[in-house]
A and B are shown apart, each in its own frame.
Chain A
Amino acid sequence: DVQLLESGGGLVKPGGSLRLSCAASGFTFIYAWMSWVRQAPGKGLEWIGRIKSKTAGETTDYAAPVKGRFTISRDDSENTLYLQMNSLEIEDTAVYYCATENNGIEHWGQGTLVTVSS
């Protein structure tokens, strides 16, 4: 079974940084395109970005609200996906999910909560 386990969430002050991790298992990670999706409290789903597989160039795409502040990376040797978040804003408060892509988003992790507050 596909398993995605996010970690690294917590409370951070505005302007601060945080790095999230997503440990993947149950599928061939090196060939997977991976995304991050967030959900603010009581709100809907917002895609924030993706990283393609190495065979597809390992390129990244980002949604406008996070471009230039967030960076997605991966370590295929560790089957782990990362989200580096800098210059955090109160509006970045959300549960952050990592997800696999196969004909769009497919499998989701359980999410990790990031709270940006002074």
Chain B
Amino acid sequence: DVVMTQSPLSLPVTLGQPASISCRSSQSLVYSDGNTYLNWFQQRPGQSPRRLIYKVSNRDSGVPDRFSGSGSGTDFTLKISRVEAEDVGVYYCMQGTYWITFGQGTRLEIK
């Protein structure tokens, strides 16, 4: 199985400041079609997960442009340029190249 490792697991951030979450996979996520199936999800307290980013860097419809994804191969990053109160929750990376596996989650809280 492909193991997804996120860091940090807890992320206290001051409102208006940037935040960054790292996600590493145990093997390259480049699929045979040339795509890299790495997604990011946000799960607010008491809600279902919501996809933010697909294929590394593509924002889903309605996702604020303060969210961005980057990376390649085995190393990926989700960045929030200026954290807002509504960003509190748990963030998960997910690989879909080899079936599907999720990272452990990173809990973002306001400092």
Contacts and interface: CB of A to CB of B under 8 A. Distances in A.
Interface of A: 35, 44-47, 50, 61, 63-64, 97, 101-111
A104 B100 contact: yes
B48 A45 contact: no
A47 B95 CA distance: 11
Given A103-B37, A103-B96, A47 B51 contact: no
16 contacts: A44-B92, A44-B104, A45-B41, A45-B94, A45-B105, A47-B101, A63-B99, A103-B54, A104-B37, A104-B39, A105-B39, A105-B100, A106-B60, A108-B49, A108-B50, A110-B48
Pick the most buried of A35, A44, A63, A109: most chain B CB atoms within 10 A of its CB. Answer: A44
Given A104-B94, A104-B100, A108-B48, 18 more contacts: A44-B105, A45-B41, A45-B102, A45-B105, A50-B100, A64-B1, A103-B37, A103-B39, A103-B58, A104-B38, A104-B55, A104-B95, A105-B41, A105-B49, A106-B51, A106-B54, A106-B60, A108-B50
- Label chain A's interface by main secondary structure: strand
A105 B99 CA distance: 11
A11 to B, nearest CB: 21
Given A105-B94, A105-B96, A106-B54, A45 B49 contact: yes
**10 cross-chain pairs, A with B, having the tightest CB-CB distances, nearest first:** A104-B96, A47-B100, A108-B48, A45-B102, A104-B39, A103-B54, A44-B105, A104-B37, A44-B104, A108-B49
Interface string B55-71: 10010100000000000
